[in-house]
Amino acid sequence: MTVNVDDAGILADALREVEEHDAQVVVERDGRAVAVLVSSRFLKVFKVLAEELENRLDLEAYYEAKREIAESGEKPIPYEEFRKELGL
C-alpha cells in the first residue's frame, strides 16, 4: 500500500492496515518515497537484524585486519601505545 501525503486523510486507514495486516505502507511526496509505516513488531525484528549485520561486518573487518597483519609481518601497535601517540 502506498499513501501520498496530499491524501493524509487516509492515514487512519493506513495505520489500520499496518496494525491489522502487518503491512508496510510507503508514504510518498511528489512521486518519491519519503517514509514507511511499519508495525512495532516489524521494527523490533529489523533492529535485531540490523545489529546482527553490523556485528558480522565488524567481525569480518577484524579477521581481515588480522589477516593483513599476518601477511605483512608487521608487529601490531598495542592500544595504550597507540593512544599515547595520539595524545589521548
Residue 32 has what pLDDT? 94
Q: Of 49, 25, 51, which Cα lies nearest the Cα of 37?
A: 25
Residue 14 has what pLDDT? 85
Residue 60 has what pLDDT? 97
Helix then strand then coil, in percent of the chain rounded to 5, is: 65, 15, 20
Residues in the chain where the model's pLDDT stays below 50: none
Q: Checking phi first, is residue 30 left (phi over 0); if not, alpha (psi -120 to 50) or beta?
A: left
pTM of the model: 0.61
Residue 77 has what pLDDT? 87
- Domain range list for the chain: 2-38, 42-86
Residue 38 has what pLDDT? 94
